[in-house]
Amino acid sequence: MKPRVLIAVAAAGLALLPALALAAAQTHGGPPPVEGMPQLAFGHPEQGRYLVANVVWLLIIFGVLYLTMAQVALPRVESVLAERRARIEGDLEQAQASKQRADAALAEHQAATAKARAEAQAAIAGATQQAQAEAAQKAEALNARLNAQIGEAERRIAASRDQAMSALRSVASDAAEAMVSRLTGGADRAVVEQAVTAELAARGRA
Amino acid sequence: MAAEGKTIDALSQFELTPVLGIVGHSVGFTQSNALMLLAVGLITGLMMYGMAQRSLVPGRFQALAESAYEFVQGLVTEQIGDEGKRFFPFVFSLFMFILFGNLLGMFPYAFTFTSHIAVTFGLAAVVFVLITVVALAIHGTKFFGYFFPEGAPIWLAPIIVPVEIVSYLSRPVSLSIRLFANMVAGHVMLKVFATFIVLLGGLGAVGPFVATLPLALNIALVGFELLVAFLQAYVFAILTCIYLHDAVHLH
C-alpha cells in the first residue's frame, strides 16, 4: 500500500498548486477555496463546520444502523438459520427413524420367510414319510398276497405232482402188465405192481 | 471538475457540499451523510427484504444476506470465541457500513464517506472506546496489567509500559488512517488518470490514441479498487475483532 500512499501524497502536492492559484484568483464573495486536503480543512469556515457535522451524523447514522441490525435484522436471520438447522436435524431424525422401521420390517420379513420355509420343509418331510410308510405297507400287503398265491400255487403244483406220481405207478403197472402178458401170455398183477414199486423206489420217485 | 482550467484537481472530490438546500446547510447534512444514509438503507433493505421470504432454500438476496451474516459470524467467533457473540451485531454493522461505503464510492458522482479521516477516526474511536470499556468492565483494574506483560523483568517496566501504552493508544490511529489512506489514494489515482484521459485526448490527432493508456489503467484501477473496498472493510472488521479478543481475554 505504501507506493499508492506516496502517489496520493504526490498527487495532493500537485493539486495544491492549482488550488493556490484558484484561491488567488477568487476574489468575489462566498467561502474561500479549500487549501490542501478537504479532509483536513478543519480551519476552513465552511468545510470545518461540515467536517464536525459529518462526524456527528456518522455517529447518529451508525447508531441507527447498529440498533436496526441488533434489534431487528440479525435476530431475524438467526431465526431463519435456526429454523433451517432444526428442520434439517428433524428431517435427518425422521429419515433415521424410517430407516430403523424399514430395517425392522426387513428383519420381520426375513424371519417370516425362514419360518415359512421351515414349515414347508417339515410338511414335505412329513408327507414323504407318510408316503413312504404307505408305500411300504402296500408293498407288504402285496407281498403277502403274492406269497399266499405262490404258496397256494405251490401247494396245487405239489398236489398235482403227487396225483401225477400216484397215477404214474398204476400207469407203469398197467404198461408193465401189458408188456409182460404180451411176452409171456399171462402176468400176475401183484408181482408186477411189486416190481414197479421196487423199481420206482430205486429211482427215487415213489 | 476533473480538468477545470486544464489542471489536475484530484482533491476537490473530497469536499463536503451540503444537500437538502438550506436545511442541509444549517444542520451540516452533506452528501457524505446522504451516502451514509443510503448505505444504511441498502444494508437494512438487504437484510430485511432478503430475509422476508424466510425460505428454507434461500433465493439470491437471502443467500447474500445469509452469507454476509455467516461470514462476519465466522470472523467474530474465530477471533473472539464464544464470548464474541455479544459483539457480533456491532462488528456486523461496522463491516457492512464500511463495505457499502467503499463500494458506493465506486459509483460515478457518488461520494466515498470512508475517504474522510474524520469518519474513519470516528468509527475507530467508537471501537477504541468499546474495547476499553469492555476490558474495564470484565477485568476491572486488572486491565492495567495489560500494559506490563507477566514474567517480564521489573527493571524493564519503564521501557515496556510506555511502549505498550503508546501501542494501545495508536490502535485507533492506525485503524482509521489505514482505511482513510487507502480510499483517498485509490480515488485520487482514479481522478488523476481520468484527468489524463481528458488532457491527452485534447492533444490533436494522436491525443485520443495516447489517451487510451490512462483509460486502460483506470479500468484496471476500478477492479483493484473494488478489491480494496472489500479488503479494507475486512481488515477493519478483523482488527476490531482482534482488539475485542484482547479486551475479553487480556492476551
pLDDT in tens, A36-50: 788 887 888 888 888
Chain-chain contact of A58 with B11 (C-beta, under 8 angstroms): no
Please report the sign of the dihedral spanned by the C-alpha atoms of residue B96, residue B102, residue B107, residue B109. positive
Whether the CB of B83 is below 8 Å from some CB of chain A: the reply is: no
| Residue B200, all three cell numbers | 491527452
The pLDDT of residue A7: 54
Measured between beta carbons, the chain A residues lying within 8 angstroms of B54 are: 76, 79-80, 83
Q: What's the 3-state SS for A94-136? A: HHHHHHHHHHHHHHHHHHHHHHHHHHHHHHHHHHHHHHHHHHH
Task: For residues B173 and B127, give the distance between their C-alpha atoms in angstroms, rounded to a whole number.
Answer: 11
Chain-chain contact of A38 with B32 (C-beta, under 8 angstroms): no
Residues 195-224 of B with CB under 8 A from A: none
The pLDDT of residue B101: 93
The pLDDT of residue A205: 59
The pLDDT of residue B8: 75
* CB distance A11 to B192 below 8 Å: yes
Of residues B174, B157, B180, the one with CA closest to residue B243: B174
Chain-chain contact of A62 with B28 (C-beta, under 8 angstroms): no
Whether the CB of B29 is below 8 Å from some CB of chain A: the reply is: yes
The pLDDT of residue A10: 46
Whether the CB of B47 is below 8 Å from some CB of chain A: the reply is: yes
Nearest CA-CA distance, residue B26 and chain A, Å: 10
Residue B30 bridge partners (DSSP): B18
CB pairs under 8 A between A and B: 172
Chain-chain contact of B88 with A12 (C-beta, under 8 angstroms): no
* CB distance B94 to B88 below 8 Å: no
Which amino acid belongs to residue A110?
Q
Measured between beta carbons, the chain B residues lying within 8 angstroms of A1 are: 178, 181-182, 185
* CB distance A83 to B54 below 8 Å: yes
3-state helix, strand, coil in chain A (%, to 5): 85, 0, 15
ipTM: 0.88
- Distances B153 to A110, B160, B161, B166 between C-alpha atoms, Å: 78, 10, 12, 20
Whether the CB of B97 is below 8 Å from some CB of chain A: the reply is: yes
The pLDDT of residue A17: 39
Residue B18 bridge partners (DSSP): B30
Chain-chain contact of B11 with A1 (C-beta, under 8 angstroms): no
Angle at A153 between CA A151 and CA A159, to 5 degrees: 100
The pLDDT of residue A191: 83
Measured between beta carbons, the chain B residues lying within 8 angstroms of A22 are: 5
Segments in chain B below pLDDT 50: 1-4
Domain ranges for chain B = 20-249
Measured between beta carbons, the chain A residues lying within 8 angstroms of B36 are: 57-58, 61-62
Which amino acid belongs to residue B65?
A
- Distances A63 to A59, A71, A206, B152, B173 between C-alpha atoms, Å: 6, 12, 150, 41, 21
Task: For residues A30 and A11, give the distance between their C-alpha atoms in angstroms, rounded to a whole number.
Answer: 27
Mutate: best of B16, B26, B55, partner A, most A CBs <10 A: B16
The pLDDT of residue A20: 36
Closest A-chain CA to B187: A8
Measured between beta carbons, the chain A residues lying within 8 angstroms of B188 are: 7-8, 11-12
3-state DSSP assignment of residue B30 = strand
The pLDDT of residue A27: 40
The pLDDT of residue B154: 81
Instruction: Output the CA torsion B185→B186→B188→B189 (10° steps).
Output: 110
Of A49, A62, A77, Cβ closest to residue B28: A49
Task: For residues B73 and B127, give the distance between their C-alpha atoms in angstroms, rounded to a whole number.
Answer: 18
Nearest CA-CA distance, residue B48 and chain A, Å: 6
Q: Is B145 left (phi over 0), alpha (psi -120 to 50) or beta?
A: alpha
Instruction: Output the CA torsion B80→B85→B86→B88 (10° steps).
Output: 90
pLDDT tens, N- to C-terminus, chain A (206 residues): 345 554 555 455 444 434 433 443 444 456 777 777 888 878 888 888 888 888 999 999 999 999 999 999 899 999 999 999 999 999 999 999 999 999 999 999 999 999 999 999 999 999 999 999 999 999 999 999 999 999 999 999 999 888 887 887 788 888 888 888 888 877 778 888 888 888 878 887 55
Mutate: best of A35, A40, A49, A61, partner B, most B CBs <10 A: A61
3-state DSSP assignment of residue B132 = helix
Measured between beta carbons, the chain B residues lying within 8 angstroms of A52 are: 28, 118
Of A7, A17, A19, Cβ closest to residue B189: A7
Measured between beta carbons, the chain B residues lying within 8 angstroms of A49 are: 28
Closest B-chain CA to A56: B122
3-state DSSP assignment of residue B18 = strand
Whether the CB of B231 is below 8 Å from some CB of chain A: the reply is: no
The pLDDT of residue B182: 93
Task: For residues B150 and B144, give the distance between their C-alpha atoms in angstroms, rounded to a whole number.
Answer: 12
Other beta carbons less than 10 A from residue B206's beta carbon: 9
- Distances A159 to A146, A165, A166 between C-alpha atoms, Å: 19, 10, 10
Other beta carbons less than 10 A from residue A48's beta carbon: 14
